[in-house]
Each structure stands twice: as C-alpha cells, then as structure tokens.
Amino acid sequence: MNKAELSNEIGKSLKQLTIIDKKIYSKYGMWRLEFGKWEATVYPSFLMGNTFVIEIKEKGVPEIKHLGQLPFEKIDSLKELLENILNDYR
C-alpha cells in the first residue's frame, strides 16, 4: 500500500474515532484512539519544541505506519491533529 492509499484509508476511518484512554498531563493530554482497523497514540512532547507526537498503526500489528508531529498552537481538536498529520502523505 502506498502513502496516498494509506492516507485515504486512515482518513475514511476517522469517522469511527473512539477515545479508548486519556491521561491528563497539565494542560495537554495523552490519548489512545481507535478508528476502523487503526489505532493511534497521541502525546505531547515538550523536548521536541512543544508539539504533539502521533503514532498510527494497524490494530494488533506492532509496526508503526506513521510517526508525525504538529505544534500545539496549530491544533484546535484531536481530529484536526490526525487530519493534519495525514496530509504528510498527500
């Protein structure tokens, strides 16, 4: 599967977004998410210049399909975070 196909498949699955775990770290949080056959971990990284880091992989498969980051100030919602990171594939 090429990057564009992967992005489209993950993007379609975002409609099924479910937050399965959330931990609060001060103002920001860490989320584990499921959408379709995908799961993501999103967490803040202050060492990388105040960004959110996202890891996307298929459920049950240890290999990370995408690892990206986006600055805190660019995010209004978690769904927007995922959509912006998926734009890296397009």
Range of the domain at 26: 3-89
Question: pLDDT value at position 10?
Answer: 65
Question: Around Cβ 66, how many Cβ atoms within 10 Å?
Answer: 19
Residue 2 in tokens: 């090429």
What is the block-wise mean pLDDT of the chain (90 residues), using blocks of 10 residues? 66 60 54 80 76 84 81 67 60
Question: pLDDT value at position 52?
Answer: 79
Q: How far apart are the first and last CA of the chain?
A: 14
Total tally of structural domains belonging to the chain: 1
25 and 61 Cβ atoms separated by less than 8 Å = no
3-class DSSP state for residue 16? helix
Question: pLDDT value at position 90?
Answer: 44
